[in-house]
Homo-oligomer: A and B are copies of this chain.
Amino acid sequence: MSSETNGKGASRRAFLKGAVAAGTAAAGATMARAAGEPDPLITEVQDWASGLGDGVDATPYGLPIRFEDDVVRRNVEWLTADTISSINFTPIHALDGTITPQGCAFERHHSGAIELKKEDYRLMINGLVDTPLIFTYADLERFPRENHVYFCECAANTGMEWAGAQLNGAQFTHGMIHNMEYSGVTLRTLLEEAGLTAAGDLSDKWVYVEGADASSNGRSIPMEKALDDVLVAFKANGEALRKEHGYPVRLVVPGWEGNMWVKWLRRIEVMDGPVESREETSKYTDTLEDGTSRKWTWVMDAKSVVTSPSPQSPITHGAGPLVITGLAWSGRGAITRVDVSTDGGMNWTQARLAKEGETKALSRFYLEIDWDGSEMFLQSRAHDETGYVQPTKTELREVRGLNSIYHNNCIQTWWVKANGEAENVEVS
């Protein structure tokens, strides 16, 4: 076991050496104030506002306060040839909890974020169905709806790290992920509306889904998944999908790679086999050491990352109580446990999950330690309900080699120095 405690036993008093202990003067100040006298502590406590603040007419729809201007999506210029087919990463290093606000949730487009009006929107279901149908947006709103919180992770998340520790920040190594509450209609409901009798035996059937953007981003999905938990969603975190997330309608394919979550959903065709489209042959496959490629690697395996401390979220205080926190998720179900190591994986301590893991949704973990002020090699390791344990980078490379881009779910290491700064490193 690790030498650190789990925080419950740590004396939190220790860090108060650095904070202001108001002492008896404070009680005295309160009494003074109650008697109408000036408060001698007024310069040490939080000042009251010296005037009025903004009225409610200032913000029909609010944005973050200006002091949080650095908590935004960011792209990496050298990663893509242009910003039209590019990625904007979630600032996970600065977030807490599990819900990702739409405004800073990662976006990935192949031909830019397009603008579609609800009034102009049409969704076609065709192919091996009894009655090909075209739905308006208003039609979709007349079917029974479901609500679910799911993570969406790009298959390329952490993909730049196969060859080594390249990007210095959790936002860039692990920020192609978001987690929202979706409201929509199940794909099963719509397929059954069109009728699947004509399709015959469903066990070898597929649906091909495509978007209305210029890339179309077509993907093949086995019928078993299509009839399981896929949603045709029109709201995220309660409100309409944002333009960059596929307004007005996107597909939600729980636990599977983000590229299949087709945005600006245009057409669903029932077919007797997969299309083998660009997005599932030349891309989103995993090239192994021998040059062959694995395909249909849709599920995002269990993974986790410490979001703080991390390169963009250094420790800004000295030794003493420290909260280590991060995210864990699995495309195969719920997270059951997360371990944290401060010594590069030699010793592990079980972290605390903020709440019981939910299927295919982000879990937040915390580990409170009494930091001794020396350097750490911080890692986290996720376990999911299937018993799967997140592998080390070495273990992953042994199976997959170094030719892959996608599906890198290895354990991440942050070297946290004695001065609190952190760096992306590999440990052998």
Contact = CB atoms under 8 A, between A and B. Distances in A.
B145 A86 contact: no
A63 B65 contact: no
A153 B82 CA distance: 46
Contacts of A291: none
Interface string A73-96: 111000000111011100000111
Nearest to A317: B138
A212 interface: yes
A13 B87 CA distance: 41
Nearest to A114: B53
B240 A64 contact: yes
A364 B145 CA distance: 10
A29 B269 CA distance: 12
A428 interface: no
Contacts of A240: 64-65, 68, 71, 94
A149 to B, nearest CB: 8
Q: How many copies does the complex hold?
A: 2
B114 A21 contact: no
A99 B97 contact: no
Q: Could you say which of A58, A97, A133, A243 has the most chain B C-beta atoms within 10 Å of its C-beta?
A: A97
Nearest to A100: B238
Interface residues of A, number: 132
A16 B142 CA distance: 11
A134 to B, nearest CB: 4
Interface stretch (A124-132, A164-172, A336-344): A124-132
Contacts of A109: 53-56
Contact of A113 (B53, B102, B352): B53
A403 interface: no
Contacts of A242: 62-65
Contacts of A108: 56
B97 A67 contact: no
A98 interface: yes
Interface string A39-72: 0010011111111111111111111110110011
B95 A239 contact: yes
Contacts of A138: 316-317
A295 to B, nearest CB: 22
A56 B107 contact: yes
Q: Could you say which of A44, A65, A212 has the most chain B C-beta atoms within 10 Å of its C-beta?
A: A65
A49 B280 CA distance: 22
Contacts of A103: 61-63, 103
B56 A75 contact: yes
Interface of A: 7, 12-13, 15-16, 19-27, 29-30, 41, 44-65, 67-68, 71-75, 82-84, 86-88, 94-104, 107-109, 111-118, 120-124, 126-127, 131-136, 138-139, 141-147, 180-183, 193, 212-214, 216, 234-235, 237-240, 242-244, 247, 264, 266-267, 269, 316-317, 320-323, 325, 352, 354-355, 364, 366, 368
Given A54-B243, A55-B82, 7 more contacts: A12-B142, A54-B114, A56-B87, A60-B88, A63-B242, A96-B234, A147-B354
20 contacts: A16-B193, A20-B134, A26-B126, A26-B134, A29-B126, A44-B134, A47-B120, A49-B114, A51-B214, A56-B109, A59-B113, A60-B74, A63-B103, A95-B238, A96-B145, A96-B235, A97-B147, A98-B181, A101-B102, A101-B239
